[in-house]
Structure 1
Amino acid sequence: MLLAEDMHMIRAALTALLRLEPDLDVVAEVTRGDEIVPAALAARPDVAVLDIDLPVVDGITAAASLRERLPSCRVLVLTALGQPGQVRRALAAGIEAFLVKDAPGDQLADAIRRTAAGLRVLDAELVSSAMEYGESPLTPRESSVLKEAARGSSAEETASRLHLSPGTVRNYLTAAITKTGARNKIDAIRIAEDAGWL
C-alpha cells in the first residue's frame, strides 16, 4: 500500500504498525498530496491510505486524481476530525473507505484488507453526520470569501486577492452569515468549518 501522511512521527508509527501485519506491506510513503499520484504510478499499490489534510494538495483532491490515473488503486482516507463536509466530498469523489485516526490499529488493518477486497468501509456515525449537515449552502465565491476571513484578511485584502470590490466582499460575507444561520462572521466561519464546508 501507499501511505500519505505529512506528520513524520505518525507516518512512521503507522508504517511500523502495518508492517506487523503479515499480509500488508507499505510500498511507498509520501508527505504531500502532490506526491501521491507519481508515487502510486511508480509503486502500483492496491490501496492508498491518505491523510485528508495534506500540504499542497488535500487528500480528497489527490484521491480523485489517483482514481483517474490509476483506477486499480483503491483509496482509504484517514481524518482526525471527520467533518461532515469532508465526508460528503470524499463520497462524491468515489473514495471507497473513510476512517477516523483514533480508530484502533486493528480496525485500520481490517479496513485496508476490506478496501483491497473491493468493499466500502465507511464509519456509520461519520456518514450519518454528513447526511445530517447536508450540502454546503455556500456558493464557491462565498466559500472563498469566508476562507479569506478565516485567515484574518480584511475586506480590502480579500477584495484585492479575489479581484472583487470591498463592497462585493461584504455582500458575500453577509450572504454567508445568513446562509449558515450565524450571528456574525466569526460564527459563520465556525459553523462552516465544523460542517467541513470550508
Structure 2
Amino acid sequence: MIRVLVADDQSLVRGALTALLNLERDITVVAECGNGHEVLPLIQAHQVDVALVDIEMPGMNGLEVAQAMLQAQTSCRCLIVTTFGRAGYIKTALRHGAQGFLLKDAPPEQLAEAVRQIHAGMRVIDPAMRDQVLLSADSPLTPREVEVAREALSGADTRSIAATLHLSPGTVRNHVSSIIAKTQASNRFEAARRARDNGWL
C-alpha cells in the first residue's frame, strides 16, 4: 500500500484529491494539511511514501517544501500538483528535489498512475507540459535577484527591500536594474511579474 499525504490550502481540492486516491486499491491517504510548514512533521509521523504538494500554500510554498524534503533526506517522494502550468516552475521543482509535476486538471487515472510511478522511483512530468519544459529557457536570475524580485512583486520600494534583505539601497537598485534588463521589462513591478509568470520566483 502506497501511503500518501495531500497538502493543499483549498479544502475542497484537498478533499477531492483524497477521495480520488482512496478509491485505488493500492493507495491510501494517511494525512492531509493546508500549510506548507505541516508537511515534514506529517511525513515523519505517518511514514508517508509520496507527498502531493500544491505550489501556492501559506507558510511554505510547494517549491520550498520540496527543497526542505530534499535537505531533510526523507525517503518520501514529492509530487507537485498545481494549477500553475509554468515551465519555470517545473524546472525549479525538479531542481529542488521534486520527482514529479502534474496539473490539477489531469484525469484521475493519470494522478494515481503518477503516484505509482514516483513511488517506484521514476520521474513524472505532465504530458501537456513536456514540450514547453524542453523549449523554455532556464532562469537568468541569481538567487539574490530572486529575493529582490519577490519583494518588488509585493509592492515594496527600494528602502523597504533593502531593510528586509539587509542590503544597501544602492545594491538593491543594482539588482533591480539587472532584473529589468534580464526580463526586458520597463519597470521593477513589470520585471517581477514577468519573472513570476516564467516560474522563476
- Asked if TM exceeds 0.5, the reply is yes
- Using the size of structure 2 for normalisation, the TM-score is 0.88
The residue correspondences of 1:94-133 to structure 2 (distance < 5 A) are: 94-133=97-136
Query: 2:61 — aligned with what?
Result: 58
2-side partners of 1:140 and 1:64: how far apart?
Answer: 14
Out of 46, 62, 65, the residue aligned to residue 49 of structure 2 is 46
SS at match of 1:29: strand
Q: 1:186 to 1:64 in 2, by over 3 A?
A: closer
> What are the ranges of 5 or more consecutive residues in structure 1 without an aligned counterpart?
none
Q: 1:9 to 1:43 in 2, by over 3 A?
A: same
Q: 1:144 to 1:101 in 2, by over 3 A?
A: same
Aligned length: 198
Identity %: 45
Root mean square deviation of aligned Cα: 2.0
2-side partners of 1:66 and 1:170: how far apart?
Answer: 34
Q: Does 1:194 align with 2:175?
A: no
> What are the ranges of 5 or more consecutive residues in structure 2 without an aligned counterpart?
none
Give the conservation status (yes or no) of the 8 Å contact 2:5–2:29: yes
1-side partners of 2:96 and 2:167: how far apart?
Answer: 30
- Using the size of structure 1 for normalisation, the TM-score is 0.89
The residue correspondences of 1:19-34 to structure 2 (distance < 5 A) are: 19-34=22-37
Deviations 1:147-196 (A, max 9, x none): 22211112222222223333332222111111112233233122201111
Out of 84, 87, 101, the residue aligned to residue 87 of structure 2 is 84
